[in-house]
């Protein structure tokens, strides 16, 4: 292993915080209880006192984000409780014998995860697992940049909640804002998502997805080795895809397809082709959306928790995805996104709340991407997530903004993330996680079909 741990600190809130359980919403309850790994890559190298500044500012920001310093526990055998007990988060200082450039484009891999993100020991009881671990890794040489790796327990919150916390911490670390600034304070009352009504929609997105023809379960598909790539789309390539999908719409009143709809349709078509699916193989895409502004009344913008809802495209045959123009897939993606209005989202939350057990709908895979009593969303299906609107490049701790951000681990088959490039020129980084046997063809089609 090329990375050596130089120091590890348990950081607790700088002031006494509430010692009480925090109610978890249905959206929190079905989030996986393992950690999401992400990495921030910086070209600049701070002085060696940076870790002390990070510790001090982390302790101060935890006064307001005190749930991060808590621990989870199981109640009723299958539901989770967040105990705000102030046990603290973990901050690690590490040193690598490698250079920053040796990691190439930092595509998720076992090496990236092992070297650059904190290791979470899942053999511990859940009551002992820190909910946030942060690793600062310096590289060989005096000015070789650094990587901050985050392991953030998904029950605590969604991507936007995590990013808001990290950006607030970074601003405090840099000295940009005072602690009384409104951005520093999260909205922690998750009971705004509580209800006592019955679901009024069917919610196929929370039920088993189409299986490969001839299969009765997903066991064989889950056993295939997974890999991940980061594929760059220049602004010119993005515009070319959008032009292809929107060709002919100019003369109608139809709203042009968005970047997310078009790029997702392109990923769907390329994956369907690379997987070699039968013509009549049913396939769907799961989409997820931030519901903060989709509810009526809307949630506070600084709501700290999981404010996500998922929806499915209509079930399509592989031949229709492949043989129709790109706008076919884009239209199906749009139909899924448009489901996520106030009534549907609240019904989904009620559907989750009414389940006797959550095992069949909770995404609880471990970071290596191995399913653990969890639903399978891979071949012949996909889950495509947009991180395009998240302010991921604002995490300036005092040594400049990150030059790259993305997942730090290989996730299960069929997952894709669309991320704005740090260049700010309209280009995108598309992080795609597929079975290894399909990836080479996928990469070929991804650029060939633009």
CATH of the domain at 208: 3.30.559.10
Q: Which of 203, 206, 201 is nearest to 343 (CA)?
A: 201
Q: Which helix (H) or strand (E) holds 135?
A: strand 132-138
- No. of H helices and E strands in the chain? 11, 17
- Residue whose structure tokens are 């995490």: 395
Among candidate residues 35, 64, 154, 266, the one labeled active-site is 154
Q: What is the pLDDT of residue 369?
A: 38
Report the predicted TM-score, pTM, of the whole model to 2 decimal places. 0.94
Among candidate residues 367, 396, 413, 429, the one labeled active-site is 396
Residues 349 and 218 in one domain: yes
Residues 218 and 184 in one domain: no
Q: What is the pLDDT of residue 181?
A: 66
Residues 350 and 428 in one domain: yes
Residue 115 phi, psi dihedral angles, 5° rounding:
-85, -35
The residue from 193, 223, 258 where one domain ends is: 193
Tell me if residue 154 is catalytic: yes
Distance, CA of 179 to CA of 167 (rounded, Å): 13
Judged by phi (left if over 0) then psi (alpha if -120 to 50, else beta), residue 214 lies in: left
Q: 14 is in which domain, residue-wise?
A: 3-193
Whether residue 199 is contained in a domain is answered as: no
Tell me if residue 35 is catalytic: no
Domain count, the chain: 2
Residues 223 and 155 in one domain: no
Residues 33 and 164 in one domain: yes
The residue from 168, 193, 218 where one domain ends is: 193
Token pair of 244 as six digits = 């292809």
Whether residue 402 is contained in a domain is answered as: no
Residues 80 and 187 in one domain: yes
Residues of the chain with pLDDT under 70: 141-143, 178-184, 250-253, 363-374
Distance, CA of 234 to CA of 244 (rounded, Å): 15
Whether residue 401 is contained in a domain is answered as: no
Residues 171 and 232 in one domain: no
């Amino acid at each position: 292993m090329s990375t050596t741990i130089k120091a590890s600190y348990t950081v607790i809130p700088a002031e006494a915080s509430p010692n009480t359980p925090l109610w978890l919403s249905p959206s929190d309850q079905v989030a996986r209880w393992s950690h999401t790994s992400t990495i921030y890559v910086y070209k600049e190298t701070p002085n060696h006192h940076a870790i002390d500044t990070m510790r001090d500012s982390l302790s101060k920001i935890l006064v307001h984000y005190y749930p991060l310093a808590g621990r989870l526990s199981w109640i009723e055998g299958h539901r989770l409780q967040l105990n705000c007990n102030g046990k603290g988060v973990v901050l690690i200082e590490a040193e690598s014998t490698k250079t920053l450039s040796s990691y190439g484009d930092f595509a998720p891999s076992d090496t990236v995860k092992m070297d650059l993100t904190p290791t979470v020991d899942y053999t511990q009881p859940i009551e002992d697992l820190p909910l946030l671990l942060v690793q600062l890794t310096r590289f060989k040489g005096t000015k070789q940049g650094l990587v901050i790796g985050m392991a953030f327990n998904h029950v605590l919150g969604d991507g936007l909640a995590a990013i808001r916390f990290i950006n607030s911490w970074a601003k405090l670390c840099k000295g940009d804002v005072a602690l009384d600034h409104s951005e520093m304070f999260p909205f922690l009352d998750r009971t705004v998502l509580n209800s006592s009504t019955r679901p009024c929609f069917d919610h196929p997105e929370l039920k088993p997805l189409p299986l490969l023809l001839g299969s009765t379960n997903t066991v064989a598909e889950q056993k295939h080795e997974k890999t991940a790539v980061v594929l760059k789309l220049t602004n010119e390539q993005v515009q070319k895809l959008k032009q292809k999908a929107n060709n002919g719409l100019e003369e109608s009143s139809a709203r042009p397809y968005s970047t997310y709809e078009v790029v997702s349709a392109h990923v769907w078509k390329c994956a369907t082709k690379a997987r070699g699916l039968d013509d009549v193989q049913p396939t769907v895409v799961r989409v997820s959306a931030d519901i903060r502004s989709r509810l009526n009344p809307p949630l506070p913008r600084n709501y700290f928790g999981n404010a996500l809802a998922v929806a499915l495209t209509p079930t399509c045959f592989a031949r229709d995805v492949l043989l129709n123009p790109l706008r076919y897939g884009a239209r199906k993606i749009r139909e899924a996104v448009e489901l996520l209005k106030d009534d549907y989202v609240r019904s989904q939350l009620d559907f989750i709340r009414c389940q006797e057990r959550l095992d069949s709908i909770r995404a609880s895979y471990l970071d290596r991407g191995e399913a653990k009593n969890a639903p399978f969303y891979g071949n012949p299906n996909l889950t495509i997530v947009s991180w395009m609107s998240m302010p991921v490049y604002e995490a300036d701790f005092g040594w400049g903004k990150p030059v790259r951000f993305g997942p730090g681990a290989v996730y299960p088959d069929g997952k894709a993330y669309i991320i704005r490039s740090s260049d700010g020129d309209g280009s995108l980084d598309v992080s795609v996680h597929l079975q290894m046997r399909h990836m080479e063809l996928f990469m070929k089609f991804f650029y060939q079909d633009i």
